[in-house]
Structure 1
């Protein structure tokens, strides 16, 4: 039977987070009502969410956060729950915290609308997040709370049905630099050669010479490996290409979009994987540049492109998402941190972005990733074996809730050159771990 939920005000925030928890995560049919008489007369499974119960029904106390329609720093009480610290503590309730308010706070990224000190790339730092403070960043805590809620309801209410999800793994690849030496031109490669010679970097010298003579593939040309391993594990990868003509000179360093080798690569990759735009560093503050880069990819593939991930994960709310919507992007994969692994929005389940300024759900769907290669190697400075251990933990945390695991890798980190030696095996092991109990 349908679950009926009473709340005095069916606000946009209430409607959004109840839909996400019940319909998207728990696959449970439910209806919200603010009519007390309708709730009292209903003979099926039901509970109330309010400041006080109506009678003797199953009751979840509201902290009041979801009834608000402004953006200001809330007063959040922290309490212990099942060995974890949780926000929005309440008393005299079926749970000791307002699970709906806490879930909305994380999924909406409410704290990113409040004042904060950005990092060098003007990004919201993970250590400023409440999840980091409470030690919850490495777990999809909203999905965990949903399952706790499901078990509680199943034990208290009769004739309540929940659907079943299955774990899925979606590898995503960012192509910041399609090739290292190919298509760089004589001048640039000569400069690289002289620089490597001055430093006595024999490995780099060998790569430049052998690649130039055609005796070996460009070290960043790892596309055949990716195609083969994704086929082996029956995976559907997504590739995001950086296509900036005049981007930020320090951060947008890919090959020119008009280069035939790059265009041939994009066409080839599109035959065995989805392709999205990787908006340049410079485009984050220039919507016309974003539109131009998207159009370049669309013209090449002769079809509309509505997938994206920001270069350098430059996500500034709400500006970045509003720009994406303006140019026709419907699916974004930027939701994650550069310097920490884990679940930035507290969930491993794709969700529609909630526009806090307009207090309504948008049509932009957000796909949160859990781990990035550069996070492990550059920021956390882990060895390949240590990185594999961290990835295994994240995958298992997602499998426990039957969620979706999105990884972010780069073609160059599979090159087995420089500081990426040994990291190809990390990628292989990640796919093998994800495949356990999943491979069809």
Structure 2
């Protein structure tokens, strides 16, 4: 269903499960087995047996199915205490258990998180139509910064070893993917000048003392040096080059709302920057405009513009404002040739929105099948840390280390997002230092650093692209 990586070993599997849930269970099992280097193949000769009743013969690892699992599996568990896996010292939340001793239904529970069933069962959204971490079941159960799906995979590996169906598994070192959304190419635009001089400077509605801010802004406008947002983009490239690592840059190619700041792809500064990015081996991806996330016409126009400016295919896509409409967004992305996305994260906090820190295939609920679009799950955005959660640099780094610990535990990928407003202080105090400290954290704790396409290829296709 998901395709096989070059080094995956087949393992027999039988499912005593009817459609339409059977396809969902098979997808979940494939996703759980992939990090173990295994791929399920239907076989009656022994292996993994999944169903409500155990097999009648030896040679099988029996994974219990919760008999109460509905075919549409979009049950709401809000307000309920989680069932937990209690084997040994483990206490891992499993939505589906059915009172099955101490072994919950790992397959149905994995599908529930991976396919975003919680967000279909509970339609609460913010003013931009987005799923929020604060309104998620993962947050309610205290697992937003954890990765329950990856815990299930680890548990499954232990059960397979215990049953004599597999040997030792080799965990990959963890990876950091630094990504950058280029929402603006310059700071000093008419709206910003009005905000700085009138609203913040004269009316005192800004975040710093009025007189100091008015003096600073006036000086930057009257005697401008390099634009701070352009300077930030150049410094980001310098910092990555100094470490000899790759990142992923998402550029806009259109504006369809007041929430977009349009910019030309043909200006001298951007053309030079795009050339430097390409020569350094970084990814260039599309950052679709505010309304393009579910509008194929806007998306096609913007993809074409950016591809023509780059003169090469784009590596990935991420929606502006992290907007998402299931299944319209992944279908639109797939229709434009994108097979790698990194939108699915929370806009208001850190965390693993789909319960995993590893690449996974997005599920299409209406088609009842995988969408064909792989997700590199976004876990951290600097504006969420500093603005929405109100953390200072020390608090932001502490939270980042928590996420890195989760990713390191599972040999996963920490995908982090910064914008090219870094080092423009005092407005974005500590944001630039957070980027540098996060890069250093990966280097100091055995993590590799790479672009989204580079890390994705090394983990799902067995191809490293460039050495990590």
TM-score (norm 2): 0.82
Establish whether residue 338 from structure 1 lines up as the match of residue 347 from structure 2: yes
CA distance 1:237–1:208, change in 2 (3 Å): farther
8 Å contact kept, 1:9–1:67: no
What's the counterpart of residue 207 of structure 2? none
Establish whether residue 225 from structure 1 lines up as the match of residue 246 from structure 2: no
8 Å contact kept, 2:133–2:351: no
Name the CA distance, whole Å, in 2 between partners of 1:17 and 1:255.
42
Please give the per-residue CA displacement for 1:170-213, whole angstroms capped at 9, x wherever unaligned: 100001112212xx4xx667646742652445446535644664
Name the CA distance, whole Å, in 2 between partners of 1:212 and 1:323.
45
Runs of 4+ in structure 1 displaced over 6 angstroms?
A: 74-77
- SS of the equivalent of 1:221 reads helix
CA distance 1:159–1:80, change in 2 (3 Å): closer
CA distance 1:224–1:208, change in 2 (3 Å): farther
- SS of the equivalent of 1:170 reads strand
Further displaced range: 362-371 or 320-329? 320-329
What are the equivalent positions in structure 2 for 1:278-293 lying under 5 Å apart? 278-293=287-302
**Among candidates 273, 276, 286, match of residue 265 of structure 1:** 273
What's the counterpart of residue 65 of structure 2? 62
Name the CA distance, whole Å, in 2 between partners of 1:29 and 1:112.
28
Further displaced range: 402-411 or 204-213? 204-213
> How far did 1:158 drift?
4.7
What's the counterpart of residue 353 of structure 1? 362
CA distance 1:115–1:421, change in 2 (3 Å): closer
What's the counterpart of residue 323 of structure 2? 314
Further displaced range: 147-156 or 402-411? 147-156
Name the CA distance, whole Å, in 2 between partners of 1:320 and 1:267.
29
**Among candidates 4, 20, 26, match of residue 15 of structure 1:** 26
- SS of the equivalent of 2:127 reads coil
C-alpha RMSD over aligned residues: 2.7
What's the counterpart of residue 80 of structure 1? 84
- SS of the equivalent of 2:427 reads helix
Unpaired segments ≥5 residues, structure 2? 1-8, 204-209, 449-467
Tell me how many residue pairs correspond in the alignment: 421
Name the CA distance, whole Å, in 2 between partners of 1:140 and 1:329.
26
What are the equivalent positions in structure 2 for 1:27-426 lying under 5 Å apart? 27-33=37-43, 38-39=44-45, 42=46, 46-55=47-56, 57-64=60-67, 68=71, 70=72, 72-73=74-75, 78-81=82-85, 82-92=90-100, 96-160=103-167, 162-181=169-188, 184=189, 191=194, 194-195=197-198, 197-199=201-203, 200=210, 202-203=212-213, 205-206=215-216, 209-210=219-220, 213-244=223-254, 246-249=255-258, 251-272=259-280, 273-412=282-421, 414-426=422-434
Please give the per-residue CA displacement for 1:128-159, whole angstroms capped at 9, x wherever unaligned: 32222211110122112211211122122155
- SS of the equivalent of 2:119 reads helix
Unpaired segments ≥5 residues, structure 1? none
Name the CA distance, whole Å, in 2 between partners of 1:190 and 1:230.
31
> How far did 1:252 drift?
0.4
Further displaced range: 205-214 or 374-383? 205-214
8 Å contact kept, 2:359–2:376: yes
8 Å contact kept, 2:69–2:96: no
Name the CA distance, whole Å, in 2 between partners of 1:31 and 1:13.
15
8 Å contact kept, 1:71–1:356: no
Name the CA distance, whole Å, in 1 between partners of 2:250 and 2:323.
15
**Among candidates 415, 433, 437, match of residue 446 of structure 2:** 437
> How far did 1:216 drift?
4.4
What's the counterpart of residue 428 of structure 1? 436
8 Å contact kept, 1:2–1:160: no
TM-score (norm 1): 0.87
CA distance 1:228–1:96, change in 2 (3 Å): same
CA distance 1:50–1:268, change in 2 (3 Å): same
Name the CA distance, whole Å, in 1 between partners of 2:285 and 2:84.
42
8 Å contact kept, 1:178–1:220: yes
> How far did 1:2 drift?
4.5
CA distance 1:276–1:211, change in 2 (3 Å): farther
